[in-house]
């Protein structure tokens, strides 16, 4: 079992992996060493057939307060450009398996962007979201300007990105950025992950892929890809089992194949 310095990993129940960001003194600021570990853990869980859903969380005080400003402050353009600074942050978006962000406290800048890279966000009432980059002379660099627009619409996203003002869990829920606000966000995220892990893994992963096509591309292309993935379901045992179980009025037994 790999021990990490900036994150904690566990398998809290069958089929579910939990990753906890763990740099409490820096409010889980997303440093390069932290992200290297996060990517390593994501790759390991994605390759583990026993894992069918993931949960990513932080502490009560902070999901993550953004990219590590102390690490960034002396960087030059030629350096960040040539070394593709933060390009490896998008590893999480290539996961086949569904991943839920359980957000308490600050989810600012890169923290908000990291949550938006997950498939579902659940927020505690204490969650504070925002893209405050403009306040330190930069712009969001890990998808904030793109994903926020798609999640909450252009006018709201523009206001938030241009002012950098934080927004609450209640606002995030009203606007559809988070699926719901939960008093016990980690327990609810784990329960939701359990529900997803209880489905056939091929169907769950194809469903995620299809929803992401809608999110990422045009409607016409999305409908084409959805149909192709839908047709592909008929090559799986879980489709036979799922439909047979319905017809026979019993619960399906998934083989995840």
Binding status of residue 141 toward ligand CAA by CB under 6 A: yes
Q: Which is nearer to ligand CAA, 10 or 135 (CB)?
A: 135
Place of tokens 């523009």: 158
Q: H or E segment at 154? A: helix 154-163
Q: Is 164 exposed, middle or buried (0-12, 13-18, 19+ CB in 10 A)?
A: middle
Annotation says 110 is catalytic: yes
- Among the listed residues 15, 58, 109, 110, the single catalytic one is 110
Q: From residue 181, give the alpha-carbon distance in Å to each of 74, 106, 120, 168, 197.
A: 38, 15, 12, 10, 22
Q: Which is nearer to ligand CAA, 4 or 85 (CB)?
A: 85
| Residues in contact with ligand CAA, shown as a per-residue x/- string from 101 to 120 under the rule CB under 6 A | -----x-xxx--x-------
| Residues in contact with ligand CAA, shown as a per-residue x/- string from 147 to 176 under the rule CB under 6 A | ------------------------------
User: What is the nearest approach in angstroms of ligand CAA to the Cβ of residue 164?
Assistant: 8
- Among the listed residues 113, 130, 197, 206, the single catalytic one is 113
Query: Distance (Å, rounded) from C-alpha 41 to C-alpha 255?
Result: 25
Binding status of residue 29 toward ligand CAA by CB under 6 A: yes
Q: By CB under 6 A, what part of segment 69-88 binds ligand CAA?
A: 69-70, 86
Annotation says 183 is catalytic: no
The DSSP 8-state label assigned to residue 4 in this structure reads: -
Q: How many chain residues are in contact with ligand CAA, going by CB under 6 A?
A: 22
Helix (H, G, I), strand (E, B) or coil at 48: coil
Q: By CB under 6 A, what part of segment 7-26 binds ligand CAA?
A: 26
Annotation says 164 is catalytic: no
Q: Which is nearer to ligand CAA, 54 or 117 (CB)?
A: 117
The DSSP 8-state label assigned to residue 19 in this structure reads: E
User: What is the nearest approach in angstroms of ligand CAA to the Cβ of residue 142?
Assistant: 4
Q: Tell me the HSE value of 21 on the side-chain side, using a 13 A CA sphere.
A: 36
Q: 86 and 138 in contact (C-beta within 8 Å)?
A: no
Quote the Cα angle for 233-235-237, to 5°. Answer: 90
Q: Which is nearer to ligand CAA, 98 or 130 (CB)?
A: 130
Query: Which residues are catalytic, by number?
Result: 67, 110, 113, 133
């Amino acid at each position: 079992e790999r021990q990490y310095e900036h994150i904690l990993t566990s398998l809290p129940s069958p089929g579910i992996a939990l990753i906890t960001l763990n740099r409490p003194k820096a409010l889980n600021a997303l440093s390069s060493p932290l992200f290297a570990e996060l990517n390593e853990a994501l790759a390991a869980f994605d390759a583990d057939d026993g894992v069918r859903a993931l949960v990513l969380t932080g502490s009560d005080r902070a999901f993550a307060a953004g990219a590590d400003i102390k690490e960034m402050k002396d960087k030059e353009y030629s350096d960040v450009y040539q070394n593709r600074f933060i390009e490896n942050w998008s590893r999480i978006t290539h996961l086949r398996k569904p991943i839920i962000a359980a957000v308490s406290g600050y989810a600012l800048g890169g923290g908000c962007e990291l949550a938006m890279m997950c498939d579902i966000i659940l927020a505690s009432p204490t969650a504070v979201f925002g893209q405050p980059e403009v306040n330190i002379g930069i712009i969001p660099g890990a998808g904030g300007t793109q994903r926020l627009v798609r999640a909450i619409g252009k006018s709201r996203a523009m206001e938030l990105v241009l002012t950098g003002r934080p927004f609450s869990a209640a606002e995030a829920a009203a606007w559809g950025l988070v699926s719901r606000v939960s008093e016990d966000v980690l327990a609810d995220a784990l329960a939701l992950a359990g529900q997803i892990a209880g489905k056939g893994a091929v169907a769950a992963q194809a469903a995620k892929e299809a929803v992401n096509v809608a999110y990422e591309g045009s409607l016409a292309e999305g409908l084409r890809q959805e149909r192709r993935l839908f047709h592909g379901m008929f090559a799986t045992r879980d489709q036979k089992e799922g439909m047979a179980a319905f017809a026979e009025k019993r619960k399906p037994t998934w083989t995840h194949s």
